[in-house]
């Protein structure tokens, strides 16, 4: 915890970025709860809810390559602010759904909101090494990810309560205001160079086409097996992680017959597990050598899948909650370690393309996993689907262990330029 407190106390840039993250992500979950609830009320069909989920995932997949190119060409701070302002407008437009109750408009607005997200999310990852020192980077990364998981738990709870008490209009306005606050926080970031453009050969970049630039990012990943391996770990997680979006509802409602309360309990314990795993990764990560890090990933991924399988066969909901929490502890731990490795090794001029590619790969497989779980649920029990999903996730550990044993996961060169510190001064106590 001391690392978290220190970076928030002494690093003005990171503190502002973190505060913007908290506000915007809680607002996101207000919107998610309101939109999914409204979708069900508009048609009374669970299929509409599934279609909205696809409408929220597919545009982010399509936006990924575009966002990567833009973030590696232009000032990342300005791109993130533009993303926030666009999402602010789209969030407000959701109010139209209260009078113009058309499902196509629901899909369009949901898609537009998520299309803009990769420009902000990958931009935040790409900009992090520019606002945190090498010593701060692991804590900054751990706090950023842990905060995302914490706001998931808090935001969905508050979103459900406030939407039920105050209505959909309040949720949409709150979401819009959250993006505005985030834009102000990101705009306040300061750089001694006066900008947050990527550090790269601009003249050489201008001679490349969009396709050539995109391929440059893919070529970098393909020639660094460790970076590609970490991206494929995200794919391995998504094979079961996408199914979980469907299974948690089925387990709460169908298997344990606990209704919305059961769904909420399962999601809450999953969120608690992620936060605990993030804290564990923050504490242990700096103590690991590179070789120990690779072994830790193998063990954690195997435990994640194993606990997922045990969750699927537990006879009582309390046991299921405990094991899904253990499963997410392992994933939170892995995520923090892997993201720190990416931040330390990917060159600044390629971070936008690499991070958007990693996210796009995981999101695409997650969408396929959600669809497969939905179709499978008409033929197989949730427990059977869960065992298969857990087994798929656990198998990722075998591929990683094989690649490591074969000597393929060598550490690539590090590309690090220490950020100037003029704008990271201690906060003077009042």
pTM of the model as a whole: 0.85
369-382 residues labelled b (16+ CB within 10 A) or e (exposed)? bbbbbbebbeeeeb
The pLDDT assigned to 398 comes to 95
The reported pLDDT for the residue numbered 251 is 86
Q: What is the pLDDT of residue 424?
A: 44
* Same domain membership, residue 229 and residue 188: no
Question: Please, what are the averages of pLDDT over each run of 10 residues along the chain (430 residues)?
Answer: 84 92 82 76 67 83 91 93 94 90 88 91 90 90 90 72 74 89 93 81 62 89 95 92 82 81 79 92 94 96 96 95 95 95 92 92 89 85 93 93 95 70 45
- Which range of residues forms the domain containing residue 321? 214-411
Residue 7 resides in a domain: no
Smallest Cα–Cα separation from 93: which of 81, 80, 108?
A: 108
| Predicted local confidence at residue 192, as pLDDT | 79
- Give the domain CATH number at 373: 1.20.1250.20
pLDDT in tens, 323-370: 999 999 999 999 999 999 999 999 988 999 999 999 999 989 988 888
Task: Give the pLDDT confidence of 110-165 residue by residue, as tens digits.
Answer: 899 989 989 998 899 899 998 998 889 999 999 999 998 888 777 766 766 666 67
Nearest to 409 by CA among 306, 329, 296: 296
Mark whether 36 and 110 lie in a shared domain. Answer: yes
Please indicate, yes or no, if residue 423 is contained in any of the structural domains.
no
pLDDT value for 429? 41
405 and 290, same domain (yes or no): yes
For residues 163 and 278, membership in a common domain is answered with no
Cα 167 from Cα 175, distance rounded (Å) = 13
Task: Identify the three-state secondary structure at position 99.
Answer: coil
């Amino acid at each position: 915890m001391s690392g978290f407190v220190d970076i928030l106390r002494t690093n003005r840039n990171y503190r502002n970025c973190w505060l913007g993250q908290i506000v915007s992500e809680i607002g996101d979950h207000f919107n998610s709860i309101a939109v999914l609830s409204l979708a069900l009320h508009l048609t009374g069909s669970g299929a509409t809810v599934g279609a909205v989920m696809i409408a929220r995932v597919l545009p982010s997949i399509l936006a990924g390559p575009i966002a990567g190119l833009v973030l590696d060409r232009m000032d990342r701070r300005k791109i993130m602010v533009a993303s926030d302002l666009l999402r602010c407008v789209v969030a407000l437009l959701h109010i139209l759904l209260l009078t113009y109750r058309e499902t196509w408009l629901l899909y369009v607005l949901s898609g537009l909101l998520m299309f803009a997200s990769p420009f902000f999310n990958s931009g935040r990852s790409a900009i992090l090494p520019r606002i945190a020192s090498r010593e701060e980077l692991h804590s900054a990364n751990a706090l950023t990810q842990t905060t995302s998981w914490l706001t998931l738990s808090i935001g969905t709870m508050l979103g459900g309560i406030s939407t039920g008490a105050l209505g959909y209009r309040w949720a949409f306005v709150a979401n819009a205001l959250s993006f505005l606050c985030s834009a102000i926080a990101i705009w306040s970031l300061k750089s001694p160079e006066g900008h947050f453009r990527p550090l790269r050969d601009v003249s050489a970049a201008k001679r490349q086409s969009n396709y050539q630039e995109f391929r440059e990012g893919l070529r970098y990943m393909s020639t660094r097996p460790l970076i590609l391996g970490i991206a494929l770990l995200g794919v391995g997680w998504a094979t079961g992680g996408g199914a979980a979006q469907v299974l948690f509802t089925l387990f709460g409602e169908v298997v344990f017959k606990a209704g919305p309360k059961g769904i909420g309990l399962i999601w809450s314990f999953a969120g608690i597990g992620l936060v605990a795993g993030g804290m564990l990764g923050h504490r242990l990560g700096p103590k690991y050598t590179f070789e120990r890090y690779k072994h830790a990933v193998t063990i954690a991924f195997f435990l994640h899948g194993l606990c997922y399988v045990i969750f699927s066969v537990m006879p009582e909901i309390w046991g299921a909650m405990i094991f899904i929490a253990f499963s997410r502890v392992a994933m939170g731990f892995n995520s923090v370690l892997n993201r720190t490795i990416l931040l330390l090794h990917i060159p600044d001029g390629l971070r936008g393309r690499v991070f958007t590619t990693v996210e796009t790969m995981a999101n695409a497989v997650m969408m396929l996993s959600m669809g497969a779980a939905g179709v499978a649920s008409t033929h197989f029990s949730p427990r059977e689907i869960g065992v298969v999903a857990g087994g798929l996730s656990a198998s990722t550990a075998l591929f990683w262990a094989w690649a490591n044993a074969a000597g393929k996961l060598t550490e690539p060169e590090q590309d690090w330029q220490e950020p100037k510190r003029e704008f990271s001064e201690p906060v003077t106590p009042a």
